[in-house]
Structure 1
Amino acid sequence: MTDERTRSGRGEPTLTVALEQIDVSVGAVDLNRETALNRTRAAFTAGADLVVLPELAISGYVVDPGLAREVAEPVDGPTAAEFIAVAREFDSLVAYGFCELAGDDLFNTVVVVDGSGPVLHYRKLHLFDLEKTAYAPGDLGLPVADTAVGRIGVCICYDLRFVEVLRAMSLRGAELVLAPAAWVGGFDRTVPATGSTRHVDSVLAQANLDQVAVVAVSQVAGAARGGPATLGGSVACDAYGELLAGPLSRTAADCALIEVDLDAVRASRVRGERIRPREDRRTDVYALTYGGDAW
């Protein structure tokens, strides 16, 4: 990064985020990793402080238990080494999804790394459909961490359909939530052929209600690569649920570069002199609990 471009965690309220919606092949780890690294490097060169890749970007959307075990790697495996190196080269961060091997268990995992190593490690809590045959349910909670680009939370795809997820991260101070995905049909009654899907409707509504910016990056066109018909349509929005980018292509690899104003995210928590959604919560009537704490 150039000297004049300091990031949010270093005194600058705005960060540049790259949405890298890629078309990956199921089980083709080396090819997918090369694609993801090339796209990451290009995004950093274009000025990104943070690159977000899809769910299971390295393995492809693997739900066959045998194949998942073949392509799995530990969190400190070869993929991590490659992404940490490129993050170090550009003094930036990258979030990517892969099939994680931990002991005898497999997890649908996303890590966020900088040049020194992982800064967030998340295992998908809510497994969707056939994922339940291949992966163990996540056991690391919903991590939120202060990074060089602000306070970030992570979830994956189906997690977004559970309203407690974004609410729990936002109440714990997340300013930006990253949601790598492999959006498919099956939850909603219908899926539009073009434009926004109901996945996007959910993201925009919850970002507004929880006053948190969201970047949701999906795989695309997986049916042509040995996987399900992933829907693409990746989006980013601000803390009012207003689109910053997308929906990206529904049929092909695509990308976008956006600016996230973290001062505006923080300001969104007050909507008017007497409209303060966090203070207006009736915690005498209800509460959200996480890790023994309640809000």
Structure 2
Amino acid sequence: MREIVIGAAQMGGIQKAESREAVVDRMLALLAQAAEAKCDLVVFPELALTTFFPRWWMEDQDEVDTWFETEMPGPATQPLFDAAKRHGIAMTFGYAEKTPEGRYFNTSILTDKSGTIVGKYRKVHLPGHSEYDHDRAFQHLEKRYFEPGDLGFPVWRNLDAWMGMCICNDRRWPEVYREMGLQGVELITLGYNTPSVNSQDSAEGLKERLYHSELSMTAGAYQNAAWVVGVAKGGDEDGHPLMAGSIIVDPNGFVVARAKTEGDELVVHACDMDLCAFGKRTIFDFARHRRVEHYGRITGQTGVILPNEAG
């Protein structure tokens, strides 16, 4: 048995006025709980250090830059790395990254139990829009403030398992899981900041949005015989409701643990990586069953082309 005790560290809303240091204190409290629960790995949400700032229209680049980290760890986040090392807990969390070259990404990092960064992922599927949209109930400007990720979907050997990461909207795209599945991934971690309502369809509320989120993650887990840990930021954030719904999904697509609140909460489950083996050698034995000669459209086109328009 290759057991990893995982703590899904859901966080309540982070207000615009809340400092990095205050947020890190909350993360440290969750890490302390994880240590008591003998966790090996703690998974924090997307943009875990700040409010979800893409909901705000900003024209001043200096203002935009205040939400980005230029180093990791930095002065505000070093205590988090120190505590993880002291507890002997690996961790992953999301943040806004500004590179030395002046590029901007929605990023997630993975550490080992010594607090050393062993993996980095940059969000590929950026939702929303890049210009102010008067028809939306609120803005979603990830395409304005971030570039699409440039690292692909790598996996890393960590905690005696093959681990991969994705972020928020990535979870809705089956190609994401399959890219990692084709590298033998056993554990996929992802954080998200998802509004409780659809800014373009007020009839789609919390129930429907939680269903779609869970559907995406359970399907990705089952179809690639991998554990999936999805961790939310939830509750009220600057007057905007974020859905919670953090879950841990086993390699058969079943939810084995879930958050009960919309606030700071640690959801713990002992995940046996050996449970991935059966699916990978039977129904999802890719080497035996995949038929790549018929999949050309998946990478050959983006938008829909109707048969009578194909020429």
Which band: TM-score by shorter chain? 0.7 to 0.9
Give the counterpart letter for 1:77 in structure 2. Answer: G
In 2, Cα distance between the equivalents of 1:85 and 1:145? 22
Specify the alignment match of 1:7 in structure 2: none
Alignment of 1:24-43 (within 5 A): 24-26=14-16, 28=18, 29-43=20-34
Residue ranges of structure 2 left out of the alignment (5+ in a row): 129-140, 300-311
Specify the alignment match of 1:19 in structure 2: 8
In 1, Cα distance between the equivalents of 2:191 and 2:214? 13
Give the counterpart letter for 1:240 in structure 2. Answer: N
1:191, 1:198 within 8 Å by CA — same for their partners in 2?
A: no
In 2, Cα distance between the equivalents of 1:120 and 1:227? 34
SS in structure 2 opposite 1:155?
Answer: strand
Specify the alignment match of 1:199 in structure 2: 213
CA shift in 2, pair 1:225/1:283, >3 Å: closer
Give the counterpart letter for 2:80 in structure 1. Answer: F
User: 1:18-56 CA deviation, whole Å, 9 max, x = no partner?
Assistant: 011111223522211111122112212211000001100
SS in structure 2 opposite 1:71?
Answer: coil
SS in structure 1 opposite 2:234?
Answer: coil
SS in structure 2 opposite 1:26?
Answer: coil
1:75, 1:101 within 8 Å by CA — same for their partners in 2?
A: no
Matched, 1:50 2:41: yes
Give the counterpart letter for 2:107 in structure 1. Answer: T
CA shift in 2, pair 1:132/1:30, >3 Å: same
1:150, 1:176 within 8 Å by CA — same for their partners in 2?
A: yes
Specify the alignment match of 1:236 in structure 2: 248
In 2, Cα distance between the equivalents of 1:255 and 1:76? 23
Give the TM-score of the pair, scaled to structure 1: 0.84
Q: CA RMSD in A?
A: 2.3
Count of paired positions: 272
1:152, 1:176 within 8 Å by CA — same for their partners in 2?
A: yes
In 1, Cα distance between the equivalents of 2:285 and 2:98? 41
Counterpart pick for 2:266 among 255, 258, 269: 255
Specify the alignment match of 2:293 in structure 1: 284
Counterpart pick for 2:52 among 50, 61, 68: 61
Specify the alignment match of 2:132 in structure 1: none
User: 1:197-252 CA deviation, whole Å, 9 max, x = no partner?
Assistant: 3111111112111111100001001xx33164210001110111011111x24633
SS in structure 2 opposite 1:152?
Answer: strand
Specify the alignment match of 1:6 in structure 2: none
Matched, 1:269 2:260: no
Alignment of 1:114-133 (within 5 A): 114=112, 115-129=114-128, 130-133=141-144
Specify the alignment match of 1:170 in structure 2: 181
Give the counterpart letter for 2:220 in structure 1. Answer: Q
Residue ranges of structure 1 left out of the alignment (5+ in a row): 1-11, 290-295
Give the TM-score of the pair, scaled to structure 2: 0.80
Q: CA deviation at 1:72?
A: 1.6
CA shift in 2, pair 1:195/1:261, >3 Å: farther
2:46, 2:167 within 8 Å by CA — same for their partners in 1?
A: yes
Counterpart pick for 1:82 among 79, 83, 95: 79
Higher mean alpha-carbon deviation, 98-107 vs 158-167, is at: 98-107
In 2, Cα distance between the equivalents of 1:110 and 1:49? 18
Matched, 1:212 2:226: yes
User: 1:230-283 CA deviation, whole Å, 9 max, x = no partner?
Assistant: 10001110111011111x246333321001111111222234xxx454221113
Give the counterpart letter for 1:285 in structure 2. Answer: H
Q: CA deviation at 1:149?
A: 4.3
Counterpart pick for 2:193 among 174, 178, 182: 182
Specify the alignment match of 2:104 in structure 1: 106
SS in structure 1 opposite 2:38?
Answer: coil
Give the counterpart letter for 2:293 in structure 1. Answer: D
Give the counterpart letter for 2:189 in structure 1. Answer: L
2:73, 2:81 within 8 Å by CA — same for their partners in 1?
A: no
Larger C-alpha radius of gyration, 1 or 2?
Answer: 2
